[in-house]
């Protein structure tokens, strides 16, 4: 393990263009439940069944109950050591941080230039897509008193400004993520590498000739593709690497 940490630390030190992709595993130590972890299931619903526009169209109140539940959980969470190390590295020129997480804990930790591929659970937009309501607005209220919350612009219902399964990412976020794959070192941390297009970025980075690394508690579909796979917790591994820089 220590050998691997030194190898990765040397690579991070020498990388002019460092890109870090994160998933739910980075927020696990903060108390945010992962999707596929033991507490990932909620009321016998799979996230894929709730995080879709069809599900919202069918029962916006049920979907909003889920998002309100997650907001209350996340509101009590604070960035952990993994977020803080990534925030420090994001101050470096040439470093870009791309996340699948909607909890905004990277932002709370002070991460610079964060690309949020799947949006934010703290932002809403108009389900009716009224002109003013298409642009997401911030809403940190916990608990949410009215479910579904109304669109302040047109009075119809609002939706969480997250990217649901079957929905395309916002073009500016997708472009930024794809550009970030053109790097010298691509480090993927705490993701099961199952959801696309995020799961495709490590392969795009390899095609750009990047050295690729994975930090995860366990094996993932990306483990066989990367140059170095370190199995352990992000909140322990990242500070250990930072010590070696």
Catalytic residues: 118
Q: Is 165 in the site for ligand BV8 (CB under 6 A)?
A: yes
Nearer to ligand BV8, 57 or 197 (CB): 197
Nearer to ligand BV8, 133 or 190 (CB): 190
Scan residues 43-62 and list those touching ligand BV8 (CB under 6 A): 51
The single residue among 19, 30, 90, 100 that binds ligand BV8, judged by CB under 6 A, is 100
Nearer to ligand BV8, 115 or 215 (CB): 215
* Largest separation between any pair of C-alpha atoms in the chain: 58
- What lies within 8 Å, CB to CB, of 12 at 6+ separation is 18, 89, 185, 187, 241, 245
**Residue 186 buriedness (CB in 10 A; 0-12 / 13-18 / 19+):** buried
From residue 168 to residue 197, the character string flagging contacts with ligand BV8 as x (rule: CB under 6 A) and all else as - is: x---------------------xxx-xxxx
Residue closest to 215 by CA, chosen among 193, 200, 244: 193
Smallest gap from Cβ 16 to ligand BV8, in A, equals 26
In Å, how far are 40, 68, 78, 101 from 140, measured between CA atoms?
23, 11, 15, 16
Residue closest to 100 by CA, chosen among 241, 199, 217, 244: 199
User: What does the alpha-carbon distance between residue 209 and residue 130 come to, in Å, rounded to a whole number?
Assistant: 44
The single residue among 19, 34, 90, 212 that binds ligand BV8, judged by CB under 6 A, is 34
Nearer to ligand BV8, 17 or 52 (CB): 52
Residues that bind ligand BV8 (CB under 6 A): 23-25, 28-29, 34-37, 40, 51, 100, 102, 118, 162-168, 190-192, 194-198, 215-218, 220, 233-235
């Amino acid at each position: 393990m220590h050998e691997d940490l030194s190898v990765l630390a040397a690579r991070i030190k020498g990388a002019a263009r460092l890109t870090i992709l994160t998933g739910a595993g980075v927020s696990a130590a903060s108390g945010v439940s992962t999707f596929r972890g033991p507490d990932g299931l909620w009321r016998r619903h799979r996230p894929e069944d709730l995080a879709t526009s069809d599900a919202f169209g069918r029962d916006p109140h049920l979907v909003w109950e889920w998002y309100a539940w997650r907001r209350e959980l996340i509101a009590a969470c604070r960035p952990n050591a993994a977020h803080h190390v990534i925030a420090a590295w994001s101050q470096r020129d040439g470093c870009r941080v791309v996340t699948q997480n909607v909890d905004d804990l990277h932002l709370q930790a002070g991460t610079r230039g964060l690309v949020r591929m799947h949006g934010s659970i703290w932002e809403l937009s108009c389900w009716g897509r009224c002109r003013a309501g298409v642009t997401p607005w911030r809403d940190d209220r916990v608990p949410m008193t009215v479910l579904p919350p109304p669109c302040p612009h047109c009075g119809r219902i609002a939706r969480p400004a997250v990217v649901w399964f079957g929905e395309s990412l916002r073009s500016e976020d997708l472009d930024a993520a794809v550009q970030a794959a053109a790097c010298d070192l691509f480090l993927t941390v705490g993701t099961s590498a199952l959801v696309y297009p995020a799961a495709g970025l490590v392969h795009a980075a390899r095609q750009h000739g990047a050295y690729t690394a994975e930090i995860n508690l366990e094996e993932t579909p990306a483990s066989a593709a990367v140059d170095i796979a370190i199995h352990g917790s992000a909140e322990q591994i990242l500070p250990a690497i930072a010590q070696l820089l």
